[in-house]
Each structure stands twice: as C-alpha cells, then as structure tokens.
Amino acid sequence: MSKPVSGKVAALHDRAMQTAARMIEREPYYEPMGREIDLFEAAYATQIPVLLKGPTGCGKTRFMEYMAWRLKRPLITVSCHDDLTAADLIGRYLITNNETVWVDGPLALAVRCGGICYLDEIVEARKDTTVVIHPLADDRRMLPMEKHGELLHAPAEFLLAMSYNPGYQSVLKELKQSTRQRFIAIEFNYPPAALEKKIIIAETGIVSDVADKLIRLAEMTRNLKGSGLDEGASTRLLIHAGKLIAKGIPERAACAGAVAEALTDDQDMLRAVNELAHSLF
C-alpha cells in the first residue's frame, strides 16, 4: 500500500480529477434516430455497460455527450490507440518534487467520481489493455489496481461505455467475444436524408437547397464504399463543409477541402469525388 499523501499531492489529484471529469453544462444538440436514448437510460439504471457501433462521424460521440448531460454525470472520454496501456487507463506512480505520487488514470477517475467513462474506438487499443475493463463490465463492477494495492468498487452512478466502427473490423482489429458480450449494443448509422438535412441546417445555418446538395453528395460517396473509398462522407464532414460555406467559402472549394480531401489521398478518387461535387454545385 502507498503511504498517505500530502496536502500538495492531494491537491494535484483533485486538479487531475476536475480536469478529466467533465460535466456537460449545456445541452448538446442531438436528434434521436430511434430508441437509443431509452436503451441507454435503461442500461444506466440497471448498471449494464454500453457498446456503440457505427461508422465514423455518425454521431456516437455527440450522443455520449448528450446522455452525460441528460443523466447529469461527468463524462471522461479516452481516445484509444495502439500505444494505450493498462497504466494509461488505471494510473501510475509519478515523481513530483522529490515525492512519489500516485496519479489515477481516466478509468480510475471515472470510477471514483461515479462518472461515465467512454472508450472511443476501443478496437484501436491493444488487446491486453482491454482485458482490464472486464471486471468493471460484469457483475463484479470493480477495478483492480495492483500497482497501487487497491481494489476500486464502482458506485451505482458509474457507467462504462465504448464505441467501435465495424466497417474497419479485421482479423487484427476485432472486438473479442469475451469483451463484447459484457455490453449491450446500440447500433448507429447515418441519419435518413430528412433528418440529416435538419441536423446540417441546425449545425451550420446554411440554406435548405445547399443542404440538399450536400446530402446528395454524401449519398453518392457512400455508394462508393468498397469501390475505392473505405468510407463515404459522414454527417460530420457535411457539417464541416456547411460551416465553410456559411463563412463564404465557395461550395466547390468547401466540398473539396471538407469532403474529397478528407476521404482519400488517391488522386483518381479525389478527381471522382470532386467531379461528383461539381455535378451538384
């Protein structure tokens, strides 16, 4: 066990807690597409972890922010990557002013403060790292912190959530059954055209006709998925393009920068996507 921490160390820990555990003060703009809100609230009430599945830029992160606001819980988001270690999630000892200080990682912070921990794109993390969430994601609801000699028990307010994009799933990046079967899953996709138009106009302020053309461009690129593009234009990219247009950037230039260049580096596909945009604008 570690020795009692000094006031200075406790203050360091408190600042880390306040920084990581972010309360969503204002209601995020979110348009429901189905029963996802009801499902999430039921999962939270029954302490079941949640897995969000869907393509890039379809609203998974915005949904998490909205639910954290709705449930009035702090949200701690971890962007997963190949170098993410168990210590990055749980915590580690650091040397500060000649003192050895234990600093909680984001997962431990979320458990302590009864927050929502959101592991974004979980399949990007190393498989040996994701194993540490297993005791939290079943009936035990505990987080072993072996290096700190502590066993954290999650309060009722804590929820573990994670997301991944099944479209990028491969043999090397596949969510293990031992992990995914601890979660309920909520599937996301791009909104229907009428709803997507409403979202784009609300987020950017562009006129209806321009929003219609952006949605048509997105549909064309989405039809190219697997035929030169890994993904079609997401709702997020359409919002980016709309914001550029609202700031006075010509439509074709906005689509080139926010859609074509964001989707691919292949010169042939760049020309194809730009030609699609030119056929509309």
Q: What is the pLDDT of residues 245-269, one digit of tens each?
A: 999 999 999 999 999 999 999 999 9
pLDDT-derived band at 6, boundaries 50, 70, 90: very low
Backbone angles phi, psi at 26, to 5 degrees: -105, 145
Question: pLDDT at position 226, please?
Answer: 86
What's at 244, amino acid-wise?
L
Q: Which of 88-97, 219-228, 256-265 is modeled with the greatest confidence?
A: 256-265
CA gyration radius, the chain: 21
Distance CA 83, CA 67 (A): 29
pTM of the predicted protein model: 0.88
Residues 32, 21 contacting (CB under 8 angstroms)? no
Comparing 244 with 131, which gets the higher pLDDT?
244
pLDDT-derived band at 174, boundaries 50, 70, 90: confident
Distance CA 151, CA 144 (A): 5
pLDDT at 94 over 90: no
Question: pLDDT at position 126, please?
Answer: 82
